[in-house]
Amino acid sequence: MHEYSLASAIVNQVKQIAIEHKALKVNKVTVSADPYEMIIPELLQDAFKIIITEIELFQNAHLELLKLPAEIICLECEFKGEPSEEGDKEFAYNFKCSKCGSRDTHLNIRHLTIESVDLEILE
């Protein structure tokens, strides 16, 4: 349900960047998120399309969503990185530390990030 808010946050920031670079058009916006951002990609795409219909700069813009792997921080040994396997059946997000095996781990949620924008600019 928050895809619409996210899409509008993306468009607002990209619009700012496009204006700074005196761009004629925004061609592509690339964003990345890990699985725990809880984004439904289709909804994000739909929201993006709806929001840009009114904005001249974005008429040809398309949105690319890169999916990142999960990242954990171990509270036992401070390991930071990809978990060793999917969380246990009961506690879906209690991932196992790939260094010490503890399940006392925190998710390091990497929020939806604007990676890059492809702009059409005057030479």
Partner 1 sequence: MTQEKKISVKKPAYLQNDILADEIREMMKSKNKLFFNIMGSIGAGKTFLLERIAEKLSPYFRIFVINGDIATTIDADRIAKKGVDTVQINTGGGCHLNAKLIKNELDKINVDDYDIFFTENVGNLICPAAWDVGAQKNIVVVSITEGEYVIKKHPIIFKGAQIAVINKCDLDGLGFDSQVLVEDAKKIKSNMDVLCTSAKQITGIDELIASLGIKIQ
Contact footprint for partner 1 (CB under 8 A): 1-2, 5-6, 9-10, 12-13, 17, 21, 24, 27, 31, 36-38, 75, 90-94, 104, 106-107, 109, 111-123
The encoded tokens of residue 10 equal 């993306």
The residue within the footprint of Zn ion, chosen from 28, 80, 99, 106 (CB under 5 A), is 99
Q: Least distance (Å) from Zn ion to the CB of residue 86?
A: 17
Binding flag, residue 79, Zn ion (CB under 5 A): yes
Which of Zn ion, partner 1, none sits in contact with 45, Cβ below 5 to 8 A by type? none
Which residue do the tokens 């909804």 mark? Answer: 43
74: contact with Zn ion by CB under 5 A = yes
Which of Zn ion, partner 1, none does residue 78 bind (CB under 5 to 8 Å by kind)?
Answer: none
The interface region with Zn ion, picked from 33-41, 55-63, 75-83, 106-114 by CB under 5 A, is 75-83
97 binds Zn ion (CB under 5 A): yes
Burial 64-93 (b: 16+ CB within 10 A, else e): ebeeeebbbebeeeebeeebeeebeeeeeb
Q: Which does 77 bind (CB under 5 to 8 A by kind): partner 1, Zn ion, none?
A: Zn ion
Output the six-digit token pair for 7: 């899409």
Are the C-beta atoms of residues 87 and 102 closer than 8 Å to each other?
no
Q: Rounded to the nearest 5°, which phi and psi values hold at 56?
A: -50, -50
Q: How far apart are CA 2 and CA 36, in angstroms?
A: 13
